Copies of this chain bind each other. A is one copy, B any other.
Amino acid sequence: MGDNVHVDVLILGAGPAGLMAAAWMAQTGVQTLLVEQRPYGTQNGRADGLESRTLEILDSFGLADKIWAEANHTVEIALWSESDAGILQREGISANTEPGWSRFYESTLGQGRVEEHLLNFIQSNRHINIRQATIPTSLEIDYNTVEDHGSYPIRVQLDKAAPTAFPGRGNARPSSDPSTPSSESSMALNSDDSAIGGMGTVVKAKYLVGCDGAHSWLRKQLGVGLEGESSGHHWGVLDIVPITNFPDIRKRFIVKSKFGTLMMVPRERRLVRVYVELSPTTSAQYTEQPNPTIIMNQVSGIMQPYVMKTNHIDWYTTYKVGQRLCPKVSFHNRIFLAGDAIHTHSPKAGQGMNVSMQDTYNLGWKLASVIYGASPPDILDTYAQERLPIAQRLLQLDQRICRGMCRIEGSDLVPRGNFDEDHKRAIREENTSASGLTATYQPNQLISPAAETEDAKGASFVSKPHLAETIKLGARIPSQLVLSQSDSQAYHLQQIFRSTGQWNLIIFGGNISKTEQMARVHHQADALSNPESYFQQLNKASAVRGGVGSVRVYLVHSADRNSIDIFSLPAIFRPLCDDGGIDYSRVLVDNKSYHHPGGGELYKTFGIHPEGCMVLLRPDQHVAFLSSMDDIHGLQGFLSTCTCL
């Protein structure tokens, strides 16, 4: 009672954004307190869509296998509209996720399950304390010390949350209240009263991350608000086990009939998520008496002549369509807002959980790097620079999708349903660009500009992106199957670059069975092996930082692997381990695999120059620097602007 604790990072909110922030802290060993108002985790309902990029990110923490196995993979999307004769008919069917963009594709799994997997990961780390049923009650900032990043200028008072009466199975505000927990899926959050005191605790923190949802307490304390308007369109949301004769019920589908518009997404455990536009009449009825049967009746009406009933409603809610954005997301590089606290939108694009987790995936490694002294504090400027444009684009996409799906405002009348081209295009973009796969951050302190561009003016160290045509500066590295030189085991390139707080330098050495390419590889390795080099000094410095901020180096070549003796390669590509054995994981080849399709395609699809190139990846797999193999000066110069010895 009344005790004081010091933590490096205080995170408000244990939803997807807060848990992803905490996952970084767990992985890098940063002292963190995670505070959650609810006394239990998410039980059912809420967000459910998992985009490809989110799965790639979860995989970088080793969490995708289980989530992928548990999720329902949404392979196809069907569009249904009315024929000239007024009969519901399938207008088209296509892949829900464009093939080839990622080794994952869109899937659905209840937010509660995703949170549970993240939580299990976080709880296995002793640096993270979690306090459930706890709320912040006051915030103070010491502006005298805010510039000194060794100080704890943030003071937050915590108190027990008022006991929550478990609401009914559904609820009218999906962003705030959970619905009834089912006993078998009840998730106990780890509560460590001995480490962090109970009521009236004062937390002094270096950094504060607000992942406390659309009604963010922190945002209110900071005096900023969401900007934008809610439209008058009311939508109902249901999770049901359907009883139906509709043939596409296990696909994602959108129906536009004269009775209204709905979208369904198949889920795990034979559930289906339904989004249905409520007519003004239905909406008024529901407001008077919030009964899911009212929503279900609307659904059945739209689906006629198909049968659509249910004996099992797992969760329900309603929402008003609206796109709202918080224009300021970081404060003194000490306090950050993320997730629903900075962007709210309709759930129809299945983006909510994804963009929220991607926000803190962007922020987390930067915080850890600054806390360890591995990067200068001003890299934190890049959080707002990088994530606000993403949020803006998300809201624009959501507007287009809503425009395609909503009736004329305030009217019970529905025009004859059809899918205009922009709506179809928006649906396609949802799973490629909008999913985070093509999220491309503009040149900044952590992304070097391309030579001979406007951004490069005045820049000391520039990239040469033409050396790898489809690798985009600022975007996540694409992936292709590669083999390990030592044992020919197959991996997706992205699988190599785990989220550990380390940077990764890929030397695309080309066909090293040619003397001149092998010479280039040796030349580069010699430079990087020089004990006086910035590269070596940085790795030496990062050894006491748990490896955070170090640079791991990989060689990916395109020669026939059997023509290359791994021991003829520079020693930097086969480092020694503590037990005297060798780390054989650093040399990869672009060769065909016996058992897996797709090997031997990397150099071609990445458009890599015959003389090779090198690509520096940030700890979040985004491309920071790309140049020729001999540009050691550029590489080390760029590194020196965003890392510290």
A binding-site residues for B, Cβ under 8 Å? 65, 69, 72-76, 93, 95, 97, 99, 105, 241-243, 245, 247, 249-251, 266, 270, 310-312, 484, 486-490, 562, 565-567, 577, 579-582, 584, 593-595, 597-598
Taking A99-B595, A251-B488 as contacts, is the C-beta distance between A242 and B581 under 8 angstroms? yes
B residues within 8 A CB of A580?
Answer: 241, 243, 310-312
A-B contact pairs, 14 of them (CB 8 A): A65-B69, A72-B487, A73-B487, A97-B594, A99-B594, A105-B594, A241-B579, A247-B565, A249-B486, A249-B584, A250-B484, A250-B584, A311-B579, A597-B598
Cα(A539)–Cα(B76), bound, Å: 34
Minimum distance in angstroms from A577 CB to a CB of chain B: 7
B residues within 8 A CB of A489?
Answer: 72-73, 75
Cα(A566)–Cα(B247), bound, Å: 6
B residues within 8 A CB of A69?
Answer: 65
Please indicate which of the listed interface residues A105, A242, A594 has the most CB atoms of chain B within 10 Å of its own CB.
A594
Given contacts A75-B593, A99-B594, A311-B579, 5 further A-B contacts (CB under 8 A): A93-B562, A97-B594, A105-B595, A250-B486, A270-B579
B residues within 8 A CB of A76?
Answer: 487-488, 594
B595 touches A597 (CB 8 A): no
B residues within 8 A CB of A243?
Answer: 580-582
Q: Closest 6 interchain pairs by CB?
A: A250-B487, A250-B486, A75-B488, A597-B597, A241-B581, A311-B580
Cα(A443)–Cα(B211), bound, Å: 65
**CB-based nearest B residue for A62:** B69
B75 touches A579 (CB 8 A): no
**CB-based nearest B residue for A270:** B581
B577 touches A487 (CB 8 A): no
Taking A241-B580, A242-B581 as contacts, is the C-beta distance between A594 and B488 under 8 angstroms? no
B residues within 8 A CB of A97?
Answer: 594-595
Minimum distance in angstroms from A553 CB to a CB of chain B: 19
B residues within 8 A CB of A487?
Answer: 72-76, 250-251, 266
B residues within 8 A CB of A72?
Answer: 487, 489
B residues within 8 A CB of A566?
Answer: 247
A270 touches B105 (CB 8 A): no
**CB-based nearest B residue for A247:** B565
Please indicate which of the listed interface residues A75, A76, A562, A597 has the most CB atoms of chain B within 10 Å of its own CB.
A75
**CB-based nearest B residue for A580:** B311
**CB-based nearest B residue for A90:** B562
Cα(A385)–Cα(B496), bound, Å: 48
A567 touches B245 (CB 8 A): yes
Minimum distance in angstroms from A213 CB to a CB of chain B: 32
Cα(A266)–Cα(B584), bound, Å: 12
Minimum distance in angstroms from A618 CB to a CB of chain B: 27
B75 touches A595 (CB 8 A): yes
B residues within 8 A CB of A74?
Answer: 487
B residues within 8 A CB of A565?
Answer: 247
Cα(A95)–Cα(B249), bound, Å: 43
B residues within 8 A CB of A488?
Answer: 75-76, 251
Cα(A489)–Cα(B74), bound, Å: 8
Minimum distance in angstroms from A349 CB to a CB of chain B: 20
Minimum distance in angstroms from A309 CB to a CB of chain B: 8
B73 touches A579 (CB 8 A): no
B residues within 8 A CB of A270?
Answer: 577, 579, 581
Cα(A148)–Cα(B197), bound, Å: 67
**CB-based nearest B residue for A240:** B581
**CB-based nearest B residue for A99:** B594
Cα(A567)–Cα(B248), bound, Å: 10
B residues within 8 A CB of A584?
Answer: 249-250
Cα(A249)–Cα(B581), bound, Å: 11
Minimum distance in angstroms from A513 CB to a CB of chain B: 14
Cα(A156)–Cα(B249), bound, Å: 56
Cα(A490)–Cα(B68), bound, Å: 13
Cα(A496)–Cα(B105), bound, Å: 22
Cα(A595)–Cα(B247), bound, Å: 22
B residues within 8 A CB of A311?
Answer: 579-580
Taking A251-B487, A487-B76 as contacts, is the C-beta distance between A312 and B579 under 8 angstroms? yes
